[in-house]
Amino acid sequence: MSLNWQNLDSTRAGIKILKWLKYHGVVSLASTLNERRIREYQVTTAADWTYNYAAKLVDDDVLHVLQELATEQQLVFKYESVLAGEVINTGEKRMVLHHLTRGQLGPDVIHQGKNLRHFYQGQLDAIFEFAEKVHSEKRFDHVVQIGIGGSDLGPRALYLALENYVRAHRGGLKLKAHFISNVDPDDAFAVLTELPLERTLFILVSKSGVTQETLANEKLVASYLEEKGLAPSNHMIAVTSETSPLANNPNYLASFYIDDYIGGRYSSTSAVGTTILSLALGVDVVREFLAGAHEADLRALEKDPLKNASLLDALIGVFERNGLNLPYTAILPYSQALQRFPAHLQQLDMESNGKSVNRFGTPLAYATGPVIFGEPGTNGQHSFYQLLHQGTDIVPLQFLGFLKAQQEKDITIDGSTSQTKLKANLAAQIVAFAMGKNDANPNKNFEGNRPSSLLYAPQLTPRALGALLAHYENKVMFQGFVWNINSFDQEGVQLGKVLTNDLLSGKTQNDALLSYARIMGI
């Protein structure tokens, strides 16, 4: 088999999906959602996760077309080619190797004589060694990540997801973690003024070494440390690439490296994420987290979508986007620990698949990545769920749930624990969205047939979190293959950077830009 890159509307199955509403009805969940469907329309995957799609607007006919699409678009074969080190990021002429940061599933990937699995593993070993040294020396109580985008959203979401798990089950945090990301000076000072600086370690994270916000914040932090009589070089480490201007700088306590084959939004399992997670949560926690991600990568190799959760999740998303014409997806974790996970997925998905040309630069005639948003349940129920239930448009949903609470502390009130109430709300929402309710008062009427899926696991452990992260990374990758786009570049973020620098350097002649600068007092 050879790689065949083709547009969705060049495939037989894709054409069927794009014309679905013209030739086919939509499944009625009110009449089909029953015990048998709920039992059968699910697939187990890594780290004891299960993906249940019984409340999605699919039936065996739809699933059959999606299976055809997976074959026609060679989805698993293309994933294997990623693992084998093909240059999948064609725009930037780069391999895509984040899977290699957590294990190896393909052949050795050798670049310029270097085995890249060994390189990533070597960095991880060095990070673990450094973290354990920091833990044993007890010089620091706090660690602050200075980074933005992929160097912020993923690591921050993951830290928050495990902070209380580690407190409850691993004898407490090793260090408390904080994050400075925004170039807004109020962000950095809000963090700095609350910390005992002599007990704080900073991690400067920029793959390129030229990220405007991160370099400004580094200098801001360094000058603040100096102002307080502290030497920045005793308080700062760096995560960057070996070719960046930050590399091999003796002014950092330590430096750890990634390379061009790890995209920012896919870098949570590389040094970008594992440095702060190891320092804050401990080395064992990171090992389990990486093992969970690797396990999910392995499961994503299964060719039949009905046995491959990330592949099926991707395909159902394509059906909703291109078959049912729904332009958004809400991510609804029933776990407060996942409070920032939707923000990470927003980046992962929208930055990867928010593209309108294919991987050869040809404009596409079909929709690609949707808008992603979400907040934890049950909070969202008291907020935007009104529109989800009764708005004029349908928003596809994905619920996340856990059988056990993370801290395993609870209280029974009116015959049920809080965790049981949480899960009961989750179950009730799926059914309410799917089946609706007829009411003589139109204001209290629920049309139903609003689709949702459910990803559930026994508990939000480090291993489960790793598997969840990799599930979404692989889902987004598969969708990019379906749409025939390059999910691994981000040219859309460049123009704003260029105009910003033109303005700051006084080079711009753009009348509109100068006018906005004037009203903003620049």
Task: Supply the minimum distance, in Å, between the C-beta of residue 100 and its own copies.
Answer: 24
Q: Write the DSSP symbol of residue 199.
A: G
CB of 488 to its own copies, least distance (A): 12
Closer Cβ to its own copies, 254 or 350, answer by number: 350
**Alpha-carbon distance 472 to 348, whole Å?**
8
SS3 351: helix
Q: Which of 10, 425 has the CB closer to its own copies? A: 425
Q: Does the annotation count 288 as an active-site position?
A: no
Question: Nearer Cβ to its own copies, position 91 or 103?
Answer: 91
HEC profile of 271-293: HHHHHHHHHHHCHHHHHHHHHHH
Is 497 assigned a catalytic role? yes
**Bridge partners (DSSP) listed for residue 204:** 146, 238
59/282 Cα distance (integer angstroms): 45
| Measured distance CA(228)–CA(221) in Å, rounded | 11
Rounded to 5°, the CA angle 106-150-140 comes to 105
Nearer to its own copies, 1 or 411 (CB): 411
At its nearest, how many Å lie between its own copies and the CB of residue 433?
8
The answer to whether 73 and 9 are in contact (CB under 8 A) is no
- DSSP strand E in 5-48: where? 42-44
Q: Classify residue 441 as exposed, middle or buried by CB count within 10 Å of its CB (0-12, 13-18, 19+).
A: exposed
Contacts of 24 (CB under 8 A, 6+ apart): 61
Active-site residue identified among 22, 93, 382, 507: 382
Q: Quote the least distance from Cβ 428 to its own copies, whole Å.
A: 4
3 state SS of 294:
helix
Shortest Å distance, C-beta 431 to its own copies: 5
Residue closer to its own copies, measured from CB, 110 or 428: 428
Tell me whether residue 382 is one of the annotated catalytic residues. yes
Closest distance to its own copies from the beta carbon of 97 (Å): 21
218, 288, 351, 375: which one is catalytic? 351
DSSP state of 46: G
Nearer to its own copies, 12 or 444 (CB): 444
Q: In degrees to the nearest 10, what's the CA dihedral of 360, 366, 369, 373? A: 160
Active-site annotation, residues:
351, 382, 497
